Structure 1
Amino acid sequence: MKIKNLLYSFLFCNIFFMANAQTASTKNADKKYDNYAYADAIKAYESLVEKGVRDEKVFQRLGNSYYLIGELQEALKYYQELFFLNENQEAEYLYKYAQCLKSEGNYTQSDEILEKLSQKAPSDKRAILFLNNRNYLEDIKANSDRFDIADAGINSKDSDYGSTILDNKLVFTSARDTGSIIKKNFKWTNKAISTLYSVELNPDGSIGKPMLFHKENLKVNFNQSTPVFTKDGRTMYFTRNNSVDGKRRQNENKITFLKLYKATLIGDEWKEVQELPFNSDEYSVAHPALSIDEKTLYFASDMPGTFGLSDIFKVSIETDGTFGKPENLGPEINTEGRETFPFISDEKELYFSSDGRPGLGGLDIYVSKINKDGSFEEVQNIGEPINSKQDDFAFIINSKNRNGFFSSNRINGQGLDDVYRFTENRRLICEQSVSGTITDQETNETLSNVSLILFDEAGKSAVEAKSDINGNYVFSNVKCGKKYFIKTSKEEYLFKEVSLTLKKATGSTSLPIALEKKPKPITAIPVVIKVNNTIKPVKVTITVGTDLGKLLQIPMNFFDLGKATIKKTSEPQLQKLVDMLNQYPTIKLDIRSHTDSRSSSESNQILSDKRAESTKDWLIQKGINANRLTAKGYGETQLVNKCADGVKCTEKEHQQNRRSEFIIVSL
């Protein structure tokens, strides 16, 4: 009995100590993970797994750690274990799992996981982008094969990335062995810290020997990377670990984030190194890029206001050298994932890397044209071979010769990250010309001087044109792959709206348009009406096509906004119609209801149909024979002025389009 109790006690104590040891190991691993020491966290968590621990949190953090250091296939292994334990995971793990599946080319299963993401988090922009771009692989294929790429000739067995041009030099980031006796490692990856190197770019296309770029004032024992230079070569912005006077700075949790710094070239030395004022000890700011006029600095950060893990921001550089308030580029660019490594080309294009958009896997490189008003055009994946199943980033291009460099951790590279050079052989610009001939629907006669407006589904990109002497029109440089509308107007002809969807291929689209003439008067009779409700009669002649609403001076606002029920206060005015129709029992009316261009064309059509029918029913209730009335809504298809979608107009101008017409069709 005592022996048995002793055995139980021994087992209990052994289990107790093992549990305590496991708890201590887990806490140690968690501490490393929370301090962004992902390489050390991986070792600690994998040690637990080797001891038989199968815990959701452990697999979540192992997957995340490998994901954040760019080893997607290793991350996939642990995400698979995680979903085997429990398929019901948060949206973030669904997305990262899908991304890692792409790293092995398993796009079918990746898309299945993204479908689950869209059900679990329907408002997540990454899910919305996937649902709206199910054929993203076809789109990427259409954008591919435009580049010739090759090893840049500067890579080592370590990490080389983040290049930029200064005069005839390529300045880049490297973690290569400098031969120092004391080697410092970056806790994020447990690899050697990175610093700046430069290499001569010779006129014959060859490359010199990489040399340390920094002078004494730039020598530090912390990571520094991704520089960008002003055109005069006198100012440099770059990324560095948070430090002051060569000493590391940490926040209250002993975490060192990234910051942006500025240095000035004085003589042949970079001096006056100072951090930018919007840095913080509580978040990272990194990877600077300059606008063409050098008045705006773009960068990546996870500062407050960030949509995802990191977003792209911009900040104005004032004439006195101070900085404005950082602005998030917004949901046109940023997602719940990672947006990073911005670059602005001389053609005002924003290139950046993202893992939050439909892509090939990991970080892909995307591009968007910056409009004059600061908005962005459609974001496009620049395709293979620049993009791969792994992380692709730090893209720069010379807009004149179409040569450039980018970085990648793709398989078969020389090191952890490598710099590649490229030449772009075909532009990504996809545009079409839309043209056609305007004719009379009845006679087929060509019509000159017809006004046309082209606009997209969002009512933007409005462009005006006119048909020439032969009835021909053309809209040049129209973006591919979108739905557009064309509205026409010409005196004596009815307004018309036609739609078309352009293919995603450069070329031309033909769209002939036939217009219908407005009804011509075919007969006329004299009538007597009252003016301003006085008893003084006025004798006028009405014809087929006369609008009794205008003739009787009936106000057009007899409906509440967005409704189709006639207001009681408007009935006395409409009674004029009843009196006229009773006085002249042979008149037949066509009731036509119109809206302005605001709101969608579909909802406007529905509302105008309801209003026309409501007016007809009201007249019938007042004793007018239904055989004398027809009713139709025209929505926004017959505007009386220029106020189409995308055209700025006053409220008074919009009011002109919100009207009802009571057209005589028979006498």
Structure 2
Amino acid sequence: MTKRTLLPLSIFIFFLGFIGHAQVDKSASKQERLVTKADEQYQNYSFSPAIDIYKRILDKGYTSADLLKKLGNSYYFNANYNEAAKIYKRLVLEFPSDVSPEYFFRYSQTLKSLGDYENANLAMSKFIEMTSEDARAKAFEGEKDYLGDIEKNSGRYNLTPFAYNSPYSDFAPSFYKEGVIFSSDRDTGNLARYRHTWNSKDFLDLYKVNVDSVSMDDVVKFGDKLNTRLHESTSITTKDGETLYFTRNNYVEGKYVKDEEGVIRLKIFKATLKDGIWTDIEELPFNSDKYSVAHPALSKDEKTLYFASDMKGTFGESDIFKVAINKDGTFGTPINLGTNINTEARETFPFVTSEDVLYMSSDGHPGLGGLDVFATNIKNGKYDGAIVNVGEPVNSKMDDFTFIFNEESRKGFFASNRAGGLGADDIYALVETIPLKLECEQQITGTVRDRITNEVLVGATVKVIDENNDEILSTITDSEGNYSLTLDCYKGNFVRALTQGYVPSEEYLEKSDSKPKIIDFYLERDKVTAGFGDDLAKLLQLSTIYFDFDKYNIRKDSELEVEKVIAAMEKYPSLKVKVNSHTDSRGRDSYNLWLSQKRAESTVNYMISKGIAKERLQGEGFGETKLMNNCSNGVKCSAADHELNRRSEFIILE
């Protein structure tokens, strides 16, 4: 996507955090003046002339972290990812201590756009290292094989270039009656006056054309009063064709309005068709001179307006919001769609289908490079569904955006700045040949048993709990202790088994493919039923408490097992235990008897130190008199076999 004031919607706020002054040698006055001039252009988002000046400074051998950041950003936000990658590479190599996480993210994005996914992933790993709590970092870590997932979704669309593209920039298609409305800067009639210095392109106007038109002459400007000398773009009309929502720069009574930083923000305007003329053009009440509101989309019942904004409450550079359209034509309060959909990067250009599928463009969710098109199911007003990359050929290494789709005809349009197009941005027509799968069903089966006896548990309940601790569904085991469940594998889920008289057990399932999975549960009784002489360790299914050779202190790997015995004694206050300790056969018999007694005492003392009353515990050492194997005196055994004999047991006394 060719970057301009209209498109990278919250770019202005984003840049405010990076605007500064390059550090230069005070003696180099001419060079200093050049830096100052470049910074002025940069601060005004005039990136094209800023690039020219920064390059001149760089070619003279001067560099700094600040200069490389601004030059890299100027390329990045003009979608010149090849040059941006070169500059960001210099930045991370020459000034590593001055690189903030966001630059590693942008560097990764530029490398993806060049097809260098190996180094892009390395840059993203550095980003994750610096900002592990960032939603983009979590999404990347949760989708390690994101390229494989994108490949699975690819090949679902046939594409053809829009017949009415120009050598300029054409994008933002919108269905309108028997044709489409779209945005373009093809009008070069006022080149000198209206050219925009963001990217040295003309300002955008709305155009329309019928799909059965046969000539470029049939492409006409849409509405005499809609287009101004600033940008108009991204429109949506109601089904009756009488109400239009569209994006425009902040423009009031023939004059543009700037914010405190000198930025012309974006606003959504509404127009009504009366006697064939678009009139009553008014901005929506939640617009502001301080932030941008843009790219409108309507729900199928036309009671909700979706849009992108960097208003207060935005998680990233721009987020997707929704707002209620009341019966009387007023609007509710905008609501952010949440962190499942929105990231710390850009989510923008929403579109909602008749089947409640939200399409949007994002560079925060794992993609191929630049902005990618994603889809998610928003039925029943829920925004927690899987965010699915629609794959190639819609998505590419460059920017892909303004996706629209008719589910009845399975046809649609989108725009891209990929190579091979006629202009800077081009519109492509698409036909869906294979429906996009937004749900992932996974079959989970298994058996629930008693952990000690291995007896199947009939009528046990098995539940699926989501990550918000809400119960999704449940079933009970049949006469053979078996169960079967179908769950959404695009989400993380807990599968929990429980029945009366037993301690519940659960297993967490991460997002996965749709391959069936077997999960067997072995439940522990919530009361220990045992008698005199039973080994509590065996009843509790503990690992054996082992000791190092010639040592009697509790090993770190055995502390957890002893803690389980302690927990059982805390749960059952009447329980008394005798600790029987043993050694291997190496060493003198008398020494081993002493050593085993010390091990018994060590175990008892450890339990006393954890709060178990002394009178509930006994300890006795048996030396090498009760070996677990044939490793007796004179028998050659491995160290592992000898270790099996250095153990403690917990015998129930009462």
Alpha-carbon distance, 1:440 to partner: 7.4
What are the equivalent positions in structure 2 for 1:350-499 lying under 5 Å apart?
A: 350-370=358-378, 372=380, 374-424=382-432, 425-434=434-443, 436=445, 451-456=461-466, 458-460=468-470, 462-466=472-476, 473-476=483-486, 478-480=487-489, 484-488=493-497, 494=502, 497=505, 499=507
- Structure 1 residues 488 and 316: alpha-carbon distance in aligned structure 2, compared to 1, 3 A threshold: same
- Structure 1 Cα separation of the partners of residues 392 and 191 of structure 2: 41
* Counterpart pick for 1:229 among 229, 237, 244: 237
Measure how far apart 1:96 and its partner are.
Answer: 1.0
Please point out which of 112, 127, 145 is paired with 2:122: 112
Among 248, 251, 256, the residue aligned to 1:248: 256
Contact kept? 1:118, 1:127, Cα under 8 Å? yes
Q: Name the counterpart of 1:82.
A: 91
Q: Is the 8 A contact 2:448 2:497 kept in 1?
A: no
Q: Helix, strand or coil for the counterpart of 1:27? A: helix
TM-score, normalising length: structure 1: 0.71
- Structure 2 counterparts to residues 214-613 of structure 1, below 5 A: 214-370=222-378, 372=380, 374-424=382-432, 425-434=434-443, 436=445, 451-456=461-466, 458-460=468-470, 462-466=472-476, 473-476=483-486, 478-480=487-489, 484-488=493-497, 494=502, 497=505, 499=507, 501=509, 504-506=512-514, 508-509=516-517, 611-613=567-569
1:264 CA displacement: 0.9
Residue pair 1:171, 1:213 contacting (<8 A) in 2 also: no
The match for 1:577 is: none
Equivalent of 2:205 in 191, 195, 199: 195
- Report what 2:47 is aligned to: 38
Q: 1:382 touches 1:428 (CA, 8 Å); kept in 2?
A: no
Query: 2:109 aligned with 1:153, yes or no?
Result: no
Q: Which one of the candidate residues 93, 98, 104 is aligned to 1:94? A: 104
Paired letter, 1:464: S
Closer/same/farther in 2, CA of residues 253 and 615 from structure 1, 3 Å limit: closer
CA deviations 1:232-256 (Å, max 9, x no partner) are 2221111111111232222344321
| Runs of 5+ unmatched residues, structure 2 | 1-23, 541-560, 577-611, 619-651
Higher mean displacement: 18-27 or 614-623: 614-623
Match among 34, 51, 66 for residue 75 of structure 2: 66
Change in 2 beyond 3 A, CA 1:378/1:433: closer
How many aligned positions are there? Answer: 540
User: What is the Cα deviation at residue 271 of structure 1?
Assistant: 0.6
SS in 2 for 1:218: coil
Partner of 1:599: none
Contact map agreement 1:430 1:505 (CA 8 A) in 2? no
Deviations 1:405-441 (A, max 9, x none): 1111111111111111222213223423525476877
- Do the aligned partners of 1:175 and 1:192 also contact (CA within 8 Å) in 2? yes
Of residues 66-75 and 82-91 in structure 1, the stretch that sits farther from structure 2 once superposed is: 82-91
* Deviating more after overlay: 104-113 vs 210-219: 210-219
Cα drift, residue 139 of structure 1? 2.0
Aligned letter for 2:391?
A: G
Deviation at 1:143, TM superposition (A): 2.1
Instruction: Answer yes or no: is the 8 Å Cα contact 1:160–1:419 preserved in 2.
Output: yes
- 2:570 counterpart residue number: 614
Q: Following TM superposition, by how much is the alpha carbon of 1:266 offset from its aligned partner in structure 2, in angstroms?
A: 1.1
Q: Is the 8 A contact 1:300 1:313 kept in 2?
A: yes
Structure 1 unpaired stretches of 5+: 1-14, 520-543, 547-584, 594-604, 628-664
Which residue identity lines up with residue 203 of structure 2 in the other structure? I
The alignment's TM-score, normalised by the length of structure 2, stands at 0.73
- 1:480–1:276 Cα change, 3 Å: same
- Return the letter of the residue paired with 1:105: G
One-letter code of the match for 1:420? Y
Shift of 1:160: 0.7
Deviates more, 1:209-218 or 1:417-426: 209-218
Identity of aligned residues (%): 37
Distance 2:491 2:47 in 1: 43
Shift of 1:276: 1.4
The alpha-carbon distance between structure 1 residues 133 and 370, as it changes in their structure 2 partners (threshold 3 A), is same
Q: Which is bigger in relative contact order (C-alpha 8 A, separation at least 6)?
A: 2
Asked if residue 53 in structure 1 is aligned to residue 62 in structure 2, the reply is: yes
Residues 1:83 and 1:516: Cα distance change in structure 2 (over 3 Å): closer
Asked whether the equivalents of residues 260 and 276 of structure 1 are also in contact (C-alpha less than 8 Å), the reply is yes
**In 2 relative to 1, CA 320–413 (structure 1 residues): closer, same or farther, beyond 3 Å?**
same
